[in-house]
Amino acid sequence: MEIEKELAQLKKTREEAKSGGGLKRIEAQHAKGKLTARERIALLFDAGTFEEIDPFVTHRCTDFDMAERKFLGDSVVTGYGKVNNRHIFVSAQDFTVFGGSLSEVAAGKICKVMDLAARNGAPFVAVLDSGGARIQEGADSLAGYGEIFTRNTLYSGSIPQISVIVGPTAGGAVYSPAITDFVFMVKDLGQSYITGPEVVKAVTGEEVSLEELGGATVNATRSGNCHFVCDTEEQCFQQVRRLLGFLPQSYKERPPLADTNDDPNRMDEEFLNIVPVNPTQPYDMKRIITKVVDNSDFMEVHEKFARNFIVGFAHLDAQSVGILAQQPMHLAGALDIDASDKAARFVRVCDCFNIPLVTFVDVPGYMPGTDQEFRGIIRHGAKLLFAYAEATVPKVSIIIRKAYGGAYIAMSSKSLRGDINYAWPTAEIAVMGPEGAVNVVYRNEIKKSENAEEARQRLVREYRDKFANPYVAAARGYIDDIIAPRETRPKVIKALQMLRNKDICNTPKKHGNIPL
């Protein structure tokens, strides 16, 4: 009989824990158009698989009458469950308890599941909706952030870490998402900024709204802090589930094979109509990517940031791959600072998690100009070279059109340990474009000739015939083969199958020193 009473008490206490900050605050959360932590968790996991940890934890603060204000579980819901039948660990801040603010014990709960995720080799998803450090707790709360940042860092590259920002994230709190591999934000809900509009106005005199300063759109387009921006929370958690499907559980595993069922030998005559004959005319590189990959299913990462460079995940013959490519429709596909940062980070995330790299090249060079030079295109461009050279996963590239100068070398070239490098017959591999090259090499000859423009055009034609093709590079083995566009998919798939057991190690060291 006694046990019946105990069980009834347990049930009651558990129900209390589930109600977070209480019905009124849950209603207030809904009135703001936001879901509760538990509703978010239900969207993330396969139905009925979530197991909560630490539902009875309460804070230890006694200042500011806090001893009388305790909520079971405090301001975060933590635990584990399954996504597509694979284990995932989660922390979801509960805004109904002190605005999701981070207390000492909330940080402890988050660290506990992060440690479990790392020890058991499973991804960690953090759902952020918080007023920041628990003001009443002072340094205890700040130290809690430090503990989380340390784990974000130590587990980086070991297990996938994903942040989902569905409420405020301000001040130093933004640095946990910034260290993780992927950041999702929901429009009109997610906010991420170092200092809010009032402080900005006081310090710089600038007037800016919260949304303009740190909303999802600005973080996705301008700063690049956010990789995926979604319209609704439902869509957001669906996309998190989709992303997890491309990733392995940890660095020790390969990503799962997908049930794509697309013919690996499928050829496509349409390729011939995509790339214009005129080398200065743009075209949409995404049309090529979607024709090559399984079922045209391409999950673009960082879609709205540095649009001159495309990165994202797809499958090729069911195998998860990271796709990288120039987008000639934006800035002619030139490599600038943002594109270099975006691409280098993506190369490294794929390399951490055993995801082969497939690179489509059409690059006219690095972006010229004082703006880029002064802001450090040298330092940032170096990241991409470093990332490709260092990566040990299979690397396959296809030069579609232009591959000029240092940018050609940066794009997964043979000399950066590219495994298989293909070129279409339309490829132009040279130190620079014909116009620039002729102006440098034949400057005096052009000046001396009676009809300078005619002479220049003749020399451009000659240069193009001699160098602006893939045969010179193929003759030296920098290109492994020149392939017909229609056979791109089967050729890349065969190369990836051949590279499936690639096993190389880099020079032993403590760690590399990527130019940051």
Residues annotated as catalytic are 171-172, 406-407
Give the nearest distance from C-beta 381 to ligand HXC in angstroms. Answer: 31
In the bound state with ligand HXC, the residue whose beta carbon lies nearer, of 133 and 325, is: 133
Residue owning tokens 């949409």: 284
Q: Does 372 bind ligand HXC (CB under 6 A)?
A: no
Give the nearest distance from C-beta 144 to ligand HXC in angstroms. Answer: 9
The Cβ of residue 234 has, within 10 Å, a number of other Cβ atoms equal to 14
**Helix (H/G/I), strand (E/B), else coil: 134:** coil
State how far the Cα of 300 lies from the Cα of 97, in Å rounded to an integer: 35
Q: Does 173 bind ligand HXC (CB under 6 A)?
A: yes
Going residue by residue from 127 to 156, which x/- string records binding to ligand HXC, judged by CB under 6 A? Answer: ----xxxxx------x--x-----------
> 40 φ, ψ to 5°?
-65, -40
Part in contact with ligand HXC (CB under 6 A); list of ranges 11-19, 58-66, 166-174, 179-187: 166-174
For CA atoms 473, 474, 479, 483, the dihedral sign is: positive
**DSSP class of residue 51?**
E
State how far the Cα of 50 lies from the Cα of 82, in Å rounded to an integer: 7
One residue of 25, 59, 227, 395 binding ligand HXC per CB under 6 A: 25
What radius of gyration, in Å, describes the C-alpha atoms of the chain? Answer: 26
Q: Please name the residues in contact with 316: beta carbons below 8 A apart, sequence gap of 6 or more.
A: 264, 292, 293, 294, 358, 489, 492, 493, 496
Q: Does 59 bind ligand HXC (CB under 6 A)?
A: no
Part in contact with ligand HXC (CB under 6 A); list of ranges 167-175, 275-283, 353-361, 500-508: 167-175
Going residue by residue from 408 to 427, which x/- string records binding to ligand HXC, judged by CB under 6 A? Answer: --------------------
One residue of 123, 168, 394, 433 binding ligand HXC per CB under 6 A: 168
**DSSP class of residue 426?**
T
What is the distance in angstroms between the CA of the first residue and the CA of the last residue of the chain?
65
SS (H, E, C) 355-370: CCEEEEEEECCECCCH
Q: Does 172 bind ligand HXC (CB under 6 A)?
A: yes
Q: Does 312 bind ligand HXC (CB under 6 A)?
A: no
The Cβ of residue 486 has, within 10 Å, a number of other Cβ atoms equal to 16
Give the nearest distance from C-beta 145 to ligand HXC in angstroms. Answer: 4
Give the nearest distance from C-beta 285 to ligand HXC in angstroms. Answer: 40
Which residues ranging from 91 to 130 are in contact with ligand HXC (CB under 6 A)? 98-99, 101
Give the nearest distance from C-beta 36 to ligand HXC in angstroms. Answer: 13
Q: Which residues are at the interface with ligand HXC (CB under 6 A)?
A: 25, 98-99, 101, 131-135, 142, 145, 168, 170-173
